[in-house]
Structure 1
Amino acid sequence: MGGSGSDSRSSNLGPAAAGLPVELAFLTRHGIAPSDLMRAAERAMRSRTDPAREAMTLGLIDEVGFYRALAAEMGLPFQSTPPSVPPGGEYGAILRQGFAPIREETSLRFVIAPEGPALRRMIEAGPRQREDIAVTTPRRFAETLRSSNATELARHAAGLDEAGLARDSARSGASRGQVITAGTGLSTAAIGSVLAPLETFFALALLLGPIFLGLILLRLATTIERATPDLWQSHRWRIDDARLPVYTVAVPMYREEAVLQQLTEALCALDYPPAKLDIRLLIEADDTGMWASLAKMALPPQFTVTIVPPGVPRTKPRALNLALLEARGSLFTIFDAEDIPDRQQLRMAAARFLSGPPDLACLQARLLIDHAEEGTLPGLFALEYAGLFEVLNPGLLLFQLPIMLGGTSNHFRTEVLRAIGGWDAWNVTEDADLGLRLVRAGYRIGDLPSNTREEAPLTIPAWLKQRSRWIKGYIQTLVTHSREPVRLLREAGVSATFAFLSLAFGTVATALGYPVFAVAALLAYWDGSLFAPQGTLATLTSTIALGVWLLGSIALFAPPAVGALRCGSPGLLLLLPLLPLYYAMVSVAAWMALYDYFNRRFVWNKTEHGLARRRAPAEPATNAAAIPLRPAPEAARY
């Protein structure tokens, strides 16, 4: 970039700066005590972090102060609000390099915001003494670059760029073959119900019976499977900070002012080196309330507020795709705005990834409703979650079968997420779709026995809106992945495909058919045909129906009961008799979802948070290690 680099300041920093890395040594001339800088340098060396970031996380200097001092040291002008840069180019590469040309015709030609190795090389090269290169902060550089590329970024985040259009997506809906197949099936069933209603019902029962039985057997198998002992938890081993990678934490938020303080406290309490955290609060461009609330807060240096460019669809996965593009971490996780994760969760996930095989691409932590005592509905929600995250998901993963990922507390290898194209922005249950895409790409999902406390809806209307969105997303996922069934079988395998159909199609079909099958069973019981069928077809159908009913009743109650005991909440067992009524509500939500699929397919039903009154606050951060160091031998530490 020019300049002789011969200014004596770059090589003669004096005895006070001796032993300091070059990223910190020059700050001795800008009012920071050498002893404080040495403390930051020692932490950076011990944790293998960037020295400049350590100085900022310790509060020795803020980002603006650091880059203003850097500009003065290099003999370059500093721009707190840099001029716009031209759109185009490889966005991620430009962002990471921190170097871009200026768009306007001014005396300035380039704007820079170097970090990491680029920062070190720049300081080592010495002062530039140029007026055509301006220094700014990485945050301002990212904001300027994002603003200049807003249109293209919106297309990328929505999967409307060239790469996104080449991938399967819920955006395009059902294929012609799917429409013809579904239309033929529905027409046949409609005609049959008029001409031969009993035989048609028997045929449908025989056709759907294996799927229902598959769902039931999966639930029963995971219930009787013993929980895998977790040696990391029981021995309380602690991975060295030096081995921890940079971790990106993405939090999509929309009108979440009520839980903003709780969220920031929970994220600040995470037991992870702050200099290795890349926490991104994702805010929609029109969310002025969140803008105002965040403007009043003094966020720590590891937090970044990212404004998502306007565009469609207005969904959570669209915001996550932008965070993935800008992520600094080699590991990536998602939290919802109301989440309170366990302090050790990131450290535990990093340990699992470091000790696991390369094809371990995702870890699903366990979600826990922490205010079950606030009402019957939150209690039933907590009981359902106990069965899902303490029993069903860990059991399926133990059998190496796919699961329907939760929408939060998923932990990923960033490179894998980028390789498969991130999230489908048009799927309103993006987690379910992503889990199957990982399996189809040849990756594995693992269980992470660490809790994230969540907030359940308090009212039935709010619960129905949330649950109908989930089921609508299941329908979208089914349609997307069944366009090419032969390819699905080839990529995922027979067992994973059957598990997916049982979980996704079985869940949707049982929810939609819950009232129909209940009425049919009552009528069959009333007229005696359930236990005394006439004819071979009726006998076979009745046998399957009785098997589904008996095993289904056990599968309905067993996982939640076992899950409640495993998570230490035996009081939830008192709500078991209400589960049939709860699943009747799921049926109502399923019919709402079916209507929405055809009329409001991409509308995201927003769940309001911050209404629960009995949630325990986040555990405060402490300087002491929450998990003591594991004893020797050193080679065994992971």
Structure 2
Amino acid sequence: MNACGRGARTFPGAESMMAAIDAVLNGEAGIAPARSAFYDRRSIAPSPATPWLPFDLALLAQNGVPPGPLLAAMRRAELTGCEPLDALIASGAIAEDSIIEALAHGLGARVADGSDHDGPPIDAEMCGQALRSGHVLLFDTAGRLTLHVAARGRHMAQLALDARGRRMTIAVSSPRAFADLVIARAGHALAAHASEGPSLVDPSLSVRDGLPAVDARLRFVVAGLTFAAFAATFALDIAGGMVLGMTSLLFATLNLFRLYVACTPPSPERPMRRDDDRTLPVYTVLVPLAREAAVVPGLMAALERLDYPPEKLDIKILVEAGDAETLFALERRPPRAGVEVLMLPPGGPRTKPRALNAGLIAARGRYLAVFDAEDQPEPGQLREAIQAFATGPTDLACVQARLAIDNIGDGWLARQFAIEYAALFDVVVPALARLGLPIALGGTSNHFDVKVLRKVGGWDAGNVTEDADLGLRLARFGYRTGAIASTTFEESTTRLKPWIRQRTRWMKGFMVTTLVHALNPRGLGRLGALNLAAAGALVGGVALTALAYPAVLALFVWRAIDGSLLAPAESLAGMTFAGLCGASLVIGYSTALACAWMGLERRGLGRLTGDLALMPAYWLLVGIAAWRALWQIAKGETSQWEKTAHGVSRRRTPHP
């Protein structure tokens, strides 16, 4: 590791200092790893109150921290296989500031403060290494070098002692303060790196580099021709017939695929195996927030309910530095000790995937989960995901949990949203996983193997439906996505305008994702014919049918008004064509209704069966959003993110 980052100044002995630090971290400096570290040669001699504490806890005992919480942290560390200092901080038994001050005093170090944020910048690579390892060497504005150490993880105190032996200035920070310091020094470099995403792996698979630059006038010409073709279907019989024929073929293809998926029984649910906490790996949880003050209290409570050793949770709340309302809400309802709030530096595009990429740079876990602001995941979801990875195939890179709407009392729109999610996440996604087909991920409750996620480039910061894109990109790189039965409960939008804006973003992302992958076919052959067809149906097909549905519905209404709809066909060919079109639409409706009904039964929402009759009206709204998305693409607003407000419902079902 470069001690000072690319292009930064060096200092005498820097390389030997970092080599010594790396040796400590790798267990090569005569310090026994794991459990024996509790009793290493630097442990302070026992006293009646503190028998054989590890060095860092012994320092705390010598500097006024009462022995009770220290011994409790030792017991907790033995039970969970974590470091005692991490157990102490996660317990919240001692104020974090008090722990930092006592450690600093015992080490002859100082507590880092805001003045440390000033100094030569570091690059994104060094930023990531620092956030993951918990230590970094930084120059201040006067050219003095300081070893900054976060009070977490293994051998924190030994690192500081090694530095003290070399007469180096040491500064100790809480994990959150350390993250603030490193991000402040990384600044624009971190923002730029987070915006790269898959461009770092394959530029052709990002919106920024994978879409051709199209002149604005040409975009509007194409959009005008599209709308003209739509109008021609009403004025010209031949145009209307062509539209009906093509859409009927499209509907028939997608309906056959949907029927094939719906008839696939889900995998039998395995009994949940509760692994020993000592064997569980560190698990990173990323939660991007943007103007989410209303849901902060509920989110913090949901994260604290996760059934996972808190000492092994690497939870990162991702907030833009200028988001004053969310930061204020986090001050009023602060996360538990050990949870990091990463304030992301300014940069563009200001999207959810950019925030997730910044979190991925800092992730310390072997696995990583993404949750949205309003999410209420079932407590055992992380354990269930680990079990899926442990028992799944070697190419399993991601598992998708089920999503369900829990504010169905908020009206028709929320009920239709609940039906849609039940069909998708309780029927379609489990079947796709069992068949080994690509899955267009939901935007939350995705669980990843971190190594693979970094290998494929993380999220595309310019794609407003980054989840669907990532699902397809994993398949392109030869990885499989699975499904787990654990549920995350979400809140539906309750008013039409916010719903249209949200669905516009989804449809726009589907269209853009289809273009990016279709314009860069290299590597698609590895998917195989069935996987390629499934990927096209799941993303491009959904967008196409959403665009086609209003046109077909309007055409039927128009022909019913002018009397041509029920007029007898003039030829056998015309009769056959009309019959095929009608049969395709009837089968399409029936298949969609069957999937929805199956989803409601599996979700235990049979009381919503009566709302199935109004699904065609809901699909019309989806079509309106799709046409609005196409218009935004024509205007060049490909990466414009229309934010959905959360915390608007007061009728959410409480979850234990």
TM-score band w.r.t. shorter chain: 0.7 to 0.9
Counterparts of 2:193 and 2:204 in 1: how far apart (Å)? 12
2:207 is the alignment partner of 1:170: yes
- Superposed CA deviations along residues 577-636 of structure 1, whole A, max 9, x for unmatched, are 1111111111111111111222222221111111111113342xxxxxxxxxxxxxxxxx
Secondary structure of the 1:231 match is coil
What amino acid maps onto 1:366 in structure 2?
Answer: R
2:94 is paired with a residue whose SS is coil
> Cα gap change, 1:154/1:365 in structure 2, threshold over 3 Å: closer, same or farther?
same
Which letter does structure 1 place at the counterpart of 2:253?
G
Taking the aligned partners of 2:575 and 2:340, their CA distance within structure 1 comes to 64
SS of the residue corresponding to residue 580 of structure 1 reads helix
Q: 1:64 aligns with which of 97, 100, 103?
A: 97
1:517–1:32 distance in 2 versus 1, CA, 3 Å: same
- Superposed CA deviations along residues 370-410 of structure 1, whole A, max 9, x for unmatched, are 12122111111111111111111111221111122111111
Equivalences for residues 86-235 of structure 1 within 5 A: 86-89=120-123, 90=125, 91-97=127-133, 98-105=135-142, 108-113=145-150, 115-119=152-156, 121-122=158-159, 128=165, 130=167, 132-159=169-196, 163=200, 166-172=203-209, 174-175=211-212, 198-199=237-238, 201-203=240-242, 207=246, 209-232=248-271
d(CA) in 2 for partners of 1:343 and 1:35?
29
Judge conservation of contact 1:405–1:431 (CA < 8 Å) in 2: yes
Contact 2:43 2:53 in 1 (8 A): no
Q: Name which of 45, 62, 67 aligns with 1:13.
A: 45
Give the superposition deviation at 1:345: 0.9
What are the equivalent positions in structure 2 for 1:313-392 lying under 5 Å apart? 313-392=349-428
Contact 1:76 / 1:133 at 8 angstroms: preserved in 2?
Answer: yes
Cα distance in structure 1, aligned partners of 2:436 and 2:296: 37
Aligned mates of 1:615, 1:578 — CA distance in 2: 23
Q: Distance in 1 between matches of 2:253 and 2:523?
A: 18
1:18-29 alignment, distance < 5 Å: 18-29=51-62
Instruction: Provide TM-score, normalisation by structure 1.
Output: 0.87
1:214-613 pair list within 5 angstroms: 214-232=253-271, 236-485=272-521, 487-521=522-556, 526-527=563-564, 532=569, 534=571, 536=573, 538=574, 541-599=577-635, 600-613=637-650
Work out whether residues 147 and 163 of structure 2, in 8 Å CA contact, stay in contact via their aligned partners in 1: no
State the AA in 2 paired with 1:64.
D
CA distance in structure 1 between the aligned counterparts of 2:171 and 2:265, rounded to whole angstroms: 61
CA drift at 1:437: 0.3
Q: Secondary structure at the match of 2:154?
A: helix
Instruction: Tell me if the contact between 1:266 and 1:341 (Cα under 8 Å) persists in the aligned partners.
Output: yes
8 Å CA contact 2:86, 2:152 repeated in 1: no
What is the letter of the counterpart of residue 294 of structure 2?
A
Deviations along 1:252-273, whole A, 9 cap, x unmatched? 1111111111111111111111
Query: Any idea what the Cα deviations from partners look like across 1:517-574, whole Å, max 9, x if unmatched?
Result: 12444566743688736365x4664354233212102122111111011111111101
SS of the aligned residue for 1:532 comes to coil
CA distance in 2, matches of 1:150, 1:360: 35
* Paired AA for residue 92 in structure 2: G
Q: Distance in 1 between matches of 2:230 and 2:159?
A: 77
Measured at CA, do residues 40 and 387 of structure 1 come closer, stay the same or move farther in structure 2, by a change above 3 Å? Answer: same
- Unpaired runs of 5+ residues, structure 1, are 620-638
How much does 1:428 deviate? Answer: 0.6
The alpha-carbon distance between structure 1 residues 158 and 11, as it changes in their structure 2 partners (threshold 3 A), is closer
The alpha-carbon distance between structure 1 residues 167 and 67, as it changes in their structure 2 partners (threshold 3 A), is farther
Match for 1:54: what amino acid? Answer: A
Q: Identify the range of structure 1 (131-140 vs 427-436) with the bigger mean alpha-carbon deviation.
A: 131-140
Q: Aligned-pair distance for 1:575?
A: 0.4
Counterparts of 2:383 and 2:176 in 1: how far apart (Å)? Answer: 26
Deviates more, 1:101-110 or 1:241-250: 101-110
What are the within-5 Å matches in structure 2 for residues 623-638 of structure 1? none
Give the AA of the match of 1:320: L
SS in structure 2 opposite 1:593? helix
CA distances 1:4-26 after superposition (whole Å, capped 9, x unpaired): x9xxx955433344333333233
Aligned 8 A contact 1:530 1:542 in 2: no
Whether contact under 8 Å (1:13, 1:26) holds in the other structure is: no
Rounded Cα–Cα distance in structure 2 between residues aligned with 1:227 and 1:585: 30
Task: Give the residue type in structure 1 aligned to 2:429.
Answer: N
SS in 2 for 1:158: helix
Q: Counterpart of 1:318 in structure 2: which amino acid?
A: R
Q: What are structure 2's unaligned runs of at least 5 residues?
A: 1-16, 21-29, 31-40
Q: What is the identity, as a one-letter code, of the residue corresponding to 1:70?
A: L
- The residue number in structure 2 matching 1:633 is none
1:521/1:142 CA distance change after superposition, 3 Å: same
Is the alpha carbon distance of 1:190 and 1:78 closer, same or farther for their aligned partners in structure 2, counting shifts above 3 Å? closer
**Which digits, 9 at most, give the CA deviation of each residue in 1:275-310, with x for residues without a partner?**
111111111122111122222234211321111111
Q: Aligned letter for 2:542?
A: T
Between the two proteins, what is the percent identity of the paired residues? 38
Moved more, 208-217 or 342-351: 208-217
C-alpha contact (below 8 Å) 2:199/2:457 kept by paired residues: no
TM-score, length-scaled by structure 2: 0.85
Q: What's the C-alpha RMSD, in Å, of the aligned pairs?
A: 3.3
**Are 1:77 and 2:110 matched, yes or no?**
yes
Residue 285 of structure 2: SS of its match in structure 1? strand
Instruction: Between 13-22 and 424-433, report the one with greater CA deviation.
Output: 13-22
Q: CA offset at residue 514 of structure 1?
A: 1.3
Which AA in structure 2 matches 1:387?
A
Q: 1:192 to 1:468 in 2, by over 3 A?
A: closer
Higher RCO structure (Cα 8 Å, ≥6 apart): 1
Deviations 1:487-542 (A, max 9, x none): 25313221111112222222112211112212444566743688736365x46643
Residue pair 2:223, 2:631 contacting (<8 A) in 1 also: no
Cα 1:214/1:531, change in 2 over 3 Å:
farther
Cα distance in structure 2, aligned partners of 1:42 and 1:511: 57
Residues 173-210 of structure 1: CA deviation (Å, up to 9, x unaligned): 64379999x969969x969969x955555555555554
